[in-house]
């Protein structure tokens, strides 16, 4: 009997639960204004931290909260690149010296490879 009751239904595709007798979490609706003039609302839980900026759902640009509340984005340190860290450890003269050494190693390796190619060509 139970097998017949499930026949013909799309198991997992639809939920047979309903929202009766359930209490939803308290919510708040926050309005955002896009730099291109779009206006939209996003629903958050009341206890959630609401971001100052949100991606515009129409154009993908940044949108700011309409009420202007919330903390401003913090000024972060600029990202240190590999070059910046390298300059902290070595001077330009040291770097030029290291570059000259590495170039000489590469040139020597190419000379060796060229000599091997010539040797193989001579053997054939």
* Average pLDDT of the residues in 95-119: 95
Strand, coil or helix: 80: coil
User: Residue 38, annotated ligand binder?
Assistant: yes
Nearest to 25 by CA among 44, 51, 50: 44
What is the pLDDT, as a whole number, of residue 41?
Answer: 93
**Stretch among 4-18, 67-81, 105-119 having the lowest mean pLDDT:** 4-18
Convert the pLDDT of each residue in 7-64 to its tens digit: 666 666 677 777 777 777 899 999 999 988 899 999 999 998 888 889 998 888 889 8
DSSP string, 19-33: -TT-PPPPEEEEEEE
User: Residue 56, annotated ligand binder?
Assistant: yes
Q: Which of the pair, 88 or 70, is modelled with greater confidence?
A: 88
User: Residue 116, annotated ligand binder?
Assistant: no
The pair of structure tokens assigned to 121 is: 């060509």
What is the pLDDT, as a whole number, of residue 75?
Answer: 78
User: Residue 82, annotated ligand binder?
Assistant: no
Burial 80-117 (b: 16+ CB within 10 A, else e): eeeeeeeeeeeeeeeeeeeeeeeeeeeeeeeeeeeeee
């Amino acid at each position: 009997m139970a097998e017949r009751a499930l026949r013909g239904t799309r198991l997992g595709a639809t939920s047979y639960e309903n929202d009766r007798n359930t209490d939803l979490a308290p919510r708040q609706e926050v309005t955002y204004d896009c730099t291109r003039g779009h206006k939209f609302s996003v629903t958050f839980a009341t206890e959630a931290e609401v971001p100052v900026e949100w991606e515009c759902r129409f154009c993908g640009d940044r949108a700011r909260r309409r009420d202007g509340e919330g903390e401003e984005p913090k000024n972060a340190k600029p990202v240190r690149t590999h070059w910046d860290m390298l300059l902290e450890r070595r001077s330009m003269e040291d770097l030029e010296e290291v570059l000259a050494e590495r170039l000489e190693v590469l040139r020597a390796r190419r000379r060796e490879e060229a000599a091997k190619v010539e040797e193989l060509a001579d053997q054939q």
